[in-house]
Amino acid sequence: MSSSTEPVDDRAVVWFDIDNTLYSASCRISHAMGERIHAYFVSLGLSHEEASELHLRYYTQYGLALRGLTRHHDVDPLDFDRKCDGSLPLESMIQYDSSLRKLFEDIDRSKVRVWALTNAYRPHAERVLRILKLDDLIDGLVYCDYHVKNFSCKPEPEFYQMAMKQANISDPTKCYFVDDNRGNIDGARALGWARCVHFCEKGLEAMEGGRTKQISNERAPGAEERTDGVDVVATLEELRVIWPEIFKKQ
């Protein structure tokens, strides 16, 4: 008889994206990131036009500009991280929001665990969580590991599978997930993550792949029809209504 079996934690997991989800796109951090990534392409000897074109192409093809840069330009991801995310003046761009902290405090930890799931590298993710004073309310963080060659990211199935492994959860129907990127939501839905919410600040702008776009809940042309079970919210407070079962009873 084995005595080494670890106790199973059968609580559900609530996964929160970080950027443009835990703070508003109106902070324009995606714009500041986009400008730095553009400057990084230019520093490789590309013209502004070539830089814009490649930035968009890599973002579209690989989900992150950096993944194209490491594949085709022999870029050191840690150098990229220092010059892009690492140089953002986040402390003056985002602010602690006591109502967001309260939302996290009101989640019933006897029922669920709370994890962050980001396409950024760890230092940036931890910095944002610290500024928002949420670091002590997050049980775990799944991030893009720049030390791993050809690391994966949302919305690739491998990334969600890795996340579930790290959180030691095998049942996708016990996964709650909120993200501002509709493609990331669809990726999770495709794996059976049951309770997905699209955080969508309609009317605001965000930058993706070096291009500014209006935020909307429209899905990419040709996206498979798997919208069932996806709620759209404009504030995270709405999660109290959509997921009442994960909050403490008042």
Ramachandran sector of residue 95 (left: φ over 0; alpha: ψ -120 to 50; beta: rest)? beta
Ramachandran sector of residue 186 (left: φ over 0; alpha: ψ -120 to 50; beta: rest)? alpha
Give the shortest CB-184-to-Mg ion separation in angstroms: 7
Instruction: Note whether 55 and 38 are within 8 A (CB).
Output: yes
Give the shortest CB-22-to-Mg ion separation in angstroms: 9
Which residues make Cβ contacts (< 8 Å) with residue 209, sequence separation at least 6?
55, 56, 58, 59, 60, 65
Give the shortest CB-248-to-Mg ion separation in angstroms: 27
| Residues of the chain by 3-state class (helix, strand, coil), percent to 5 | 45, 15, 40
Q: Which is nearer to Mg ion, 11 or 126 (CB)?
A: 126
Give the pair of three-digit tokens for residue 228.
Answer: 């069932």
Q: Which is nearer to Mg ion, 23 or 58 (CB)?
A: 23
**Distance, CA of 201 to CA of 238 (rounded, Å):** 13
Q: Which is nearer to Mg ion, 31 or 73 (CB)?
A: 31
Give the shortest CB-150-to-Mg ion separation in angstroms: 22
Q: Which is nearer to Mg ion, 17 or 81 (CB)?
A: 17
Name the 3-class secondary structure at 98: helix
Question: Contact residues for Mg ion (CB under 5 A)?
Answer: 17, 19-21, 180
The secondary structure element, H or E, covering residue 109 is none
CA 71, chain centre distance (Å): 22
CA 160, chain centre distance (Å): 11
Q: Which is nearer to Mg ion, 180 or 186 (CB)?
A: 180
**Distance, CA of 172 to CA of 203 (rounded, Å):** 32
Looking at residue 107, what DSSP letter applies? B
Q: Which is nearer to Mg ion, 11 or 153 (CB)?
A: 153
Q: Which is nearer to Mg ion, 20 or 70 (CB)?
A: 20
Give the shortest CB-199-to-Mg ion separation in angstroms: 8
Give the shortest CB-145-to-Mg ion separation in angstroms: 18
Distances (CA, A) of 243 to 44, 108, 122, 130, 160: 47, 11, 28, 25, 21
Give the shortest CB-63-to-Mg ion separation in angstroms: 12
